[in-house]
Structure 1
Amino acid sequence: MISAIQWIRKGAAAQNPKKYDLDDKEYLRISRLAADQLEDAKKDLKDAEAMAVDPASKSEKKEVDEMDQYNLDSYDAEVEASNKKVGIFSNIKDLAYYENDAEDPYITLKHNLDEEEEKKELEILPTDNMLLAAKTEDEISQLEIHVFEENQDNLYVHHDIMLPSFPLCLEWLDFHTDANKVADQTTSGNYVAIGTFEPDIEIWDLDTIDIMFPETILGYTDKSKKRSKKVNNDYHVDAIMDLAWNKHHRNFLLSSSADGTVKLWDLNVSKCVQSYNHHRDKVQSVAWHPTEPTVFLSGSFDKSVCVLDARSPENITRWQLNSDVESLRWDPHNPSNFYVALESGVIQYYDVRQAADGVGAKAIFTLQAHDDAVSALDVNPLIPGCIATGSSDKYIKIWNTADNKPSMVTSRNFELGRIFSAQFCPDSPFQLAIAGSNGKMHVWDMASNAGVRQAFRHQSLASVAPIEEKKPVTTVDDAEDEDDMEDDEPLNAQDEDDMEEDSE
């Protein structure tokens, strides 16, 4: 499945990504990271050994004692002392090792790949978008870095990064963290923060190929004392549900967690500088205000949405809802308003100015978008009034919310299974990326849909010809979710005509 996606604007990626270089400096850095992880593992093992002995553990100890008769711990030493070879290579002369293939006389096929050719293959043009996909298959998780060539309708995997745990959220940032400081912090970078079921946040460099370790890890760092499992002000103790990077104060990153807290991280020092405890359950979504640099929005499974200023966390405006919050989005075209997607399938639209004594007023409008939970929501940054919703009902829907009177423009089933993510491209108003439970991702050119062209005809479509709808650009996983596919029923032509008539 693909649990999260993230567009990256054109020109943000390095045109010629660098290859990972394990030099002395990098070796020392990853050694420290590995030592920290090993120390955590040792403490967990020590805690497990200190637990009270029960009948099951006694049985396990007896089994270990019975294995002692084979003396496996000293087996290798005995073999070495007897100077005997064992195994399938016991009759073969000693193997010779060479530092590189050039010195090995038995390797006759030499790799003479031209460096310029390889550089050309890895090149990312300024006209290309990057599209990230957090993918899990057979309990193995990875971040796939795609390149989207809009002019050629081409989407391909450029490189990938192995992840230690199931990914839940992605957030792009271009700030150079404490681990990768440069002389001029105004220069842009290309990084992604990843939240998983683990309580730490990893930040990876997207401009490095075959990278082995993250640039930095935000979380528990004081190895002088045991990591607490209780909620605290320094680090999260449960899964990271959402992330939000502050584009005005670029060294700030917000995180929301299943531990019920929201935390503010300073990337200059890779530490938590403020913890917010205004929710009573898992905090599912968090978002910085688009124009007010210190104001943010948070939504929780305690069925509430809160707006507060990071500088005065005691002043909270709260909206109490009738269902758990799935996701939140500010309206970039009307920054005082925001959208809320609920587990009940409802979308609500609020005005932060309509509040009194810390209690928010009723919604400007309420829309029953889906019968199941709205698991994906995005607001088009380039087209006012255009939003997309996706659900576990396997449908993606486009809505026109002009004049606060929402109407459905079109509804499609792209056979992606349950929809987990949908996001508009920041550079192209009619490109929508969609991903779901069967591990595939589509980039849908909405402008090729007659209903979308009609609903948003006031937008500049000079470059879009009125052609019949194209097959979406897709990445395909061979191991498709057959159960999901059986239930998927794409709309027929008559259904599309009916919806287009409704939108008119």
Structure 2
Amino acid sequence: MSMITSTAWVRRGVAAQFPERYEIDEAEISRISKLAKVQLESARTDLNAARNANANDDDNDEEEEDEDEDDVMETTDEVEVEKKEKKKSKPEDDDDLAEYDMEHYDSDPRDEEGDEVTMFGNVQSLAYHQPHEKDPYLVLPNRADGAGDDSDEDREDLQILPSDNLLLAGKVEDEVAHLEVYVYEDAADNLYVHHDVMLPAIPLCVEWLDIPVGNNARESGRSHGNFVAVGTMEPDIEVWDLDVVDCMYPSAILGKAPDDEVEGEKKSKKKTKKSLKKNEEYHVDAVLALAANRQHRNLLASASADCTVKLWDLNDANTTRCAKSYTHHTDKVCSLDWHAKESTVLLSGSYDRSVVACDMRSAEGQVGRWTVPSDVECVRWDPHDANILYITTDSGLVVCHDLRTPDTALWTLQAHDDSVSSFDVNAFIPGFLVTGSTDKTVKIWNVLDNKPSMVVSRKVEEVGKIFSTAFGPDRAVGFRLAVAGSKGVVKVWDTSTNGAVRRAFATKVASAEEMGVREGGAEGEGQGMVGVADDEEDDDDEME
């Protein structure tokens, strides 16, 4: 099984040109050791419980064992007979080994030159090193011509150019959950995996953060960073530093239990997330959506299956509790989006078939509430019109509302027959929408003048059911669309190569060259879709 559940872009020029490799220190080893002890104690508790449960079964089996005792004795006699037969054949084996004189193998204490051979006879040739120095046997010597030094080559492999975009994908493959970090080279039409991060559970949402998070990041004195927040089936939110490769532990965990509870001598296995009650401090169920505030960069909103929306202050050193908690919904909250201009207004959608716009400065500051006929899948504000919002549903609808006329929808569109599982609004081109569905279809829409019309529809069989669609974050890649889904494959579609898209939108941009508009083939041809090439494929096969 392989599946990509969510994706997120990273702007150009944000990532470190040469990411660092993580080096474990003694403090990290000590922390891992403590966690291992906790897990060991939990395993012992489970083992003892299992033994006690099996004790009663063993008493019931004693009678059956008495009945089988005679059979066991007969089997034992047969084994003894086989051993005697083997002993009889042993002298023949000894005769075969006699020519090697194994009995006197260690009797000669001298070597060929007549010197006495001892256990530590080669001690003079041994190399030794002082404490905290590298073992000379484990370090390759640097050659004078530099041919033996691979550090430059490794450094070049990790390099990220200022013209590259990063694409983050939450993936589960063969029951292993991880975050894949891709590098997208637009000029070369190239997409490849740069590194990945192991996750504790299936990822459900990812959100890029541009603020330093964690004690080490704060101590560095940086004002900007390159981090990602990941929501999973667990109630905790992990924040990882994207400029560090092979990192073993996240920079911060939002909602993590206190250290004295985690590192205690015994941790009750009965205390699961299902038994925890909804509270005002942290989530107790899966995190379904994340939204970073781009104007108040220290604010991160999270939505959970525990029916709450929580607001986190990333500047707060205490990451075990949120800044505020909101209970505007009665069912799972699955989607969030901050308003582009009213930076404190958050839009939230829920399986209770309602959407709420709330001013996060007050607990009950609802700006509006809308209902739809089926479960909400995605909610988005229109970045070009502060009064417009979009809602997609499980029944395939896209509903557009205006804050000035809350009682009726501006328009309702039956975009797909199946669930509209993914949705995005282009930040650089007005009226440019995309919908992705579990019917494996991606559709481009033009909604200018509140008259939605389909521009192009594309079946993406190689991706499977569509779970994520996202437009590029920079003007130069505004026409690029990341598509991912149930087959664990991510593709970047240059929609400008489609003639219908160019006719609908290319004339509405100030500079086609600045927006990266490209001429493509005839409509319906599979051009402009770039993915990660298989090891067996040639470079010429990367563009389909």
Q: Where on the TM-score scale, by shorter chain, does this alignment land: which range?
A: 0.7 to 0.9
Structure 1 residues 399-478: aligned runs within 5 Å:
399-415=445-461, 416-427=463-474, 428-456=477-505, 457-459=507-509, 460-462=511-513, 464-468=517-521, 470-475=527-532
Structure 2 vs 1, CA of residues 21 and 372 (structure 1 numbering), >3 Å: closer, same or farther? same
SS in 1 for 2:508: coil
**C-alpha deviation, 1:335, in angstroms:** 2.1
Q: Is the 8 A contact 2:12 2:165 kept in 1?
A: yes
SS in 2 for 1:193: strand
Structure 1 residues 117-132: aligned runs within 5 Å:
117-132=153-168
Q: Which residue in 2 is equivalent to 1:289?
A: 339
**C-alpha deviation, 1:464, in angstroms:** 3.2
State the one-letter code of the partner of 1:398.
I
Q: Which residue in 1 is equivalent to 2:210?
A: 174
Q: Which residue in 1 is equivalent to 2:238?
A: 202
Q: Is the 8 A contact 1:190 1:207 kept in 2?
A: yes
**C-alpha deviation, 1:122, in angstroms:** 1.1
Q: Which residue in 2 is equivalent to 1:321?
A: 372
1:280 aligned to 2:334?
no
State the one-letter code of the partner of 1:208.
V
Note the alpha carbon deviations across 1:42-88, whole angstroms, 9 max, x for none: 5798699889x87x88448999xxxxxxxxxxxxxxxxxxxxxxxxx
State the one-letter code of the partner of 1:349.
C
Note the alpha carbon deviations across 1:239-263, whole angstroms, 9 max, x for none: 0000011112211111100011111
How does the TM-score come out when normalised to structure 2?
0.74
**C-alpha deviation, 1:209, in angstroms:** 0.9
Of 375-384 and 465-474, deviating more is 465-474
Note the alpha carbon deviations across 1:72-106, whole angstroms, 9 max, x for none: xxxxxxxxxxxxxxxxxxxxx99x99997741699
Q: Which residue in 1 is equivalent to 2:115?
A: none
Structure 2 vs 1, CA of residues 368 and 38 (structure 1 numbering), >3 Å: closer, same or farther? farther
State the one-letter code of the partner of 1:464.
V
Structure 2 vs 1, CA of residues 178 and 466 (structure 1 numbering), >3 Å: closer, same or farther? closer
How far, CA to CA, are the matches of 2:225 and 2:465 in structure 1? 33
Q: Which residue in 2 is equivalent to 1:72?
A: none
State the one-letter code of the partner of 1:458.
K
Pick aligned residue for 2:169 from 113, 125, 133: 133
How far, CA to CA, are the matches of 1:17 and 1:476 in structure 2? 23
1:363 aligned to 2:405?
no
SS in 2 for 1:117: helix
Structure 1 residues 246-285: aligned runs within 5 Å:
246-268=293-315, 269=317, 270=319, 271-285=321-335
Pick aligned residue for 1:103 from 128, 132, 137: 137
* Runs of 5+ consecutive residues of structure 2 not aligned to the other structure: 62-118, 121-125, 262-267, 537-543
SS in 1 for 2:434: strand
Structure 2 vs 1, CA of residues 106 and 150 (structure 1 numbering), >3 Å: closer, same or farther? closer
Pick aligned residue for 1:239 from 286, 304, 307: 286
- Tell me the matched-pair count: 442
Note the alpha carbon deviations across 1:369-391, whole angstroms, 9 max, x for none: 00000011011111110011000
State the one-letter code of the partner of 2:303.
S
Q: Which residue in 2 is equivalent to 1:336?
A: 387
SS in 2 for 1:165: coil
More strand by share: 1
Q: Which residue in 2 is equivalent to 1:23?
A: 25
Q: What's the Cα RMSD here?
A: 3.4
Pick aligned residue for 2:436 from 390, 394, 403: 390
Q: Is the 8 A contact 1:400 1:406 kept in 2?
A: yes
Share of identical aligned residues, percent? 47
How far, CA to CA, are the matches of 1:15 and 1:105 in structure 2? 27
Q: Mark the structure with the bigger radius of gyration.
A: 2
**C-alpha deviation, 1:475, in angstroms:** 2.2
How far, CA to CA, are the matches of 2:59 and 2:23 in structure 1? 45
Note the alpha carbon deviations across 1:298-349, whole angstroms, 9 max, x for none: 1000000001111112132211211111111111111221111100100011
State the one-letter code of the partner of 2:490.
M
**C-alpha deviation, 1:221, in angstroms:** 2.5
Structure 2 vs 1, CA of residues 39 and 352 (structure 1 numbering), >3 Å: closer, same or farther? farther
Q: Which residue in 2 is equivalent to 1:152?
A: 188
Structure 1 residues 218-237: aligned runs within 5 Å:
218-224=254-260, 229-237=276-284
Structure 2 vs 1, CA of residues 106 and 173 (structure 1 numbering), >3 Å: closer, same or farther? closer
